[in-house]
């Protein structure tokens, strides 16, 4: 058996990107839950720059940043469930949307951490990002009659945007901000529902109620810290 360890936290959307990729590829791994309020020596040694999860440790070698980990898994296990298209042009398009996810999805999570004007700015930015995705990314899926970016099954682009399902719902729930309007974003909304029900994904999501309760507790802590 390969020596693969994943340092993560149960509620992190970024941990789930890696879990989905490991499961889709059928790679056995040991999951090591981290306490981010008291970071372990293993996490600090493995990701000394950002000190963040997820970290994948393959035969003792650490790799940080969820999307870099996914690329590493795809290059190291190319035969098991390839996560990127084989065609160079399609691959480039996939990488374009992955880069967009890495740069732009942060505003949706900023809504969770901010209030007042700062939060309004994050909401505005998120809605613009969602509009762009609706028109250009999910619009392309519709034109190509594809259920997922990987065609009839999820690929690395789907995994990059998968965090816009459960976790966006949790952000909406605890802040009262509504972003995912099915009338405004019907294609995006439809894709989220398909993604959450896709094989492997649907069996590897956190418990929704526990996730919502956790986000609610964290949000209350953020609000009371900023209002005192
Ligand atoms: N860009 C990173 C983001 C990872 C991230 O934000 N991890 C959070 C948990 S969700 C973390 O470890 N935070 C600890 C800290 O900021 O001290 C990735 O994609 O892996």
Residue 115 has a pLDDT of 93
Confidence of residue 175 (pLDDT cuts 50, 70, 90): very high
CATH 3.40.30.10 in the chain: give the residue spans: 4-76
Q: Whose CA is nearest to atom 6 of ligand 1?
A: 52
The per-residue pLDDT for range 118-172, each reduced to its tens digit, is 999 999 999 999 999 999 999 999 999 999 999 999 999 999 999 999 999 999 9
- The total of other beta-carbon atoms located within 10 Å of residue 207's CB is 12
The per-residue pLDDT for range 212-227, each reduced to its tens digit, is 999 999 999 999 988 7
The per-residue pLDDT for range 181-197, each reduced to its tens digit, is 999 999 999 999 999 99
Please list, in sequence order, all residues whose beta carbon lies within 8 angstroms of the beta carbon of residue 23, skipping any fewer than 6 positions away. 200, 203, 204
Q: How far is Cα 44 from Cα 53, in angstroms, rounded to an integer?
A: 10
Please list, in sequence order, all residues whose beta carbon lies within 8 angstroms of the beta carbon of residue 182, skipping any fewer than 6 positions away. 189
Residue 23 has a pLDDT of 98
Q: Whose CA is nearest to atom 14 of ligand 1?
A: 52
Q: Whose CA is nearest to atom 19 of ligand 1?
A: 66
- Tokens 């649907």, residue? 202
Domain 88-227 annotated CATH 1.20.1050.10: yes
Q: What is the full DSSP assignment across the chain?
A: ---EEEEE-TT-HHHHHHHHHHHHHT---EEEE--TTS--HHHHHHSTTT--S-EEEETTEEEESHHHHHHHHHHHS-SSS-SS-SSHHHHHHHHHHHHHHHHHTHHHHHHHH--HHHHHHHHHHHHHHHHHIIIIIHHHHHHTT-SBTTBSS--HHHHHHGGGTHHHHHHHHHH------TTTSHHHHHHHHHHHHSTTTTTSS--HHHHHHHHHHHHHHHHHHHH-
Q: How far is Cα 172 from Cα 29, in angstroms, rounded to an integer?
A: 32
Residue 226 has a pLDDT of 82
156: burial class by Cβ within 10 Å (0-12, 13-18, 19+)? buried
Rg (CA), the chain: 18
The per-residue pLDDT for range 78-89, each reduced to its tens digit, is 999 999 999 999
The per-residue pLDDT for range 92-126, each reduced to its tens digit, is 999 999 999 999 999 999 999 999 999 999 999 99
Indicate the pairing of strand 4-8 with strand 61-64: unpaired
CATH 1.20.1050.10 in the chain: give the residue spans: 88-227
CA of 54 relative to ligand 1 center, distance in Å = 7
- Return the closest-CA partner of residue 168 out of 178, 156, 155, 183: 178
Q: Whose CA is nearest to atom 12 of ligand 1?
A: 52
Give the residue, out of 10, 11, 21, 53, with the most ligand 1 atoms within 8 A of its beta carbon, to mutate for a pocket test.
Answer: 53
- Tokens 């605890």, residue? 174
The minimum-distance atom of ligand 1 relative to the CA of 69 is 20
Class of domain 4-76 (CATH, top level): alpha beta
């Amino acid at each position: 058996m390969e020596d693969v360890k994943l340092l993560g936290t149960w509620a992190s959307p970024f941990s789930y990107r890696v879990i989905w990729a490991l499961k889709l590829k059928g790679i056995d791994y040991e999951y090591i839950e981290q306490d981010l309020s008291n970071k372990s020596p293993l996490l600090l040694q493995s990701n000394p720059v950002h000190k963040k999860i997820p970290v994948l440790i393959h035969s003792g070698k650490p790799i940080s940043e969820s999307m870099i980990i996914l690329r590493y898994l795809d290059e190291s296990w190319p035969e098991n469930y390839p996560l990127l298209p084989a065609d160079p042009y399609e691959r480039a398009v996939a990488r374009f949307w992955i880069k967009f996810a890495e740069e732009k999805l942060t505003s949706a999570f900023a809504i969770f951490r901010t209030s007042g004007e700062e939060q309004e700015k994050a909401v505005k930015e998120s809605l613009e990002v969602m509009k762009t995705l609706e028109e250009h990314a999910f619009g392309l899926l519709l034109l190509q009659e594809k259920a997922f970016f990987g065609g009839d099954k999820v690929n690395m682009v789907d995994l990059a945007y998968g965090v816009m399902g459960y976790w966006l719902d949790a952000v909406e729930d605890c802040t009262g901000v509504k972003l995912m309007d099915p009338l405004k974003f019907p294609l995006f909304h439809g894709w989220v529902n398909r993604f959450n029900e896709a094989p492997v994904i649907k069996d590897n999501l956190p418990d929704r109620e526990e996730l919502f309760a956790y986000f609610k507790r964290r949000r209350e802590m953020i609000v009371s810290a900023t209002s005192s």
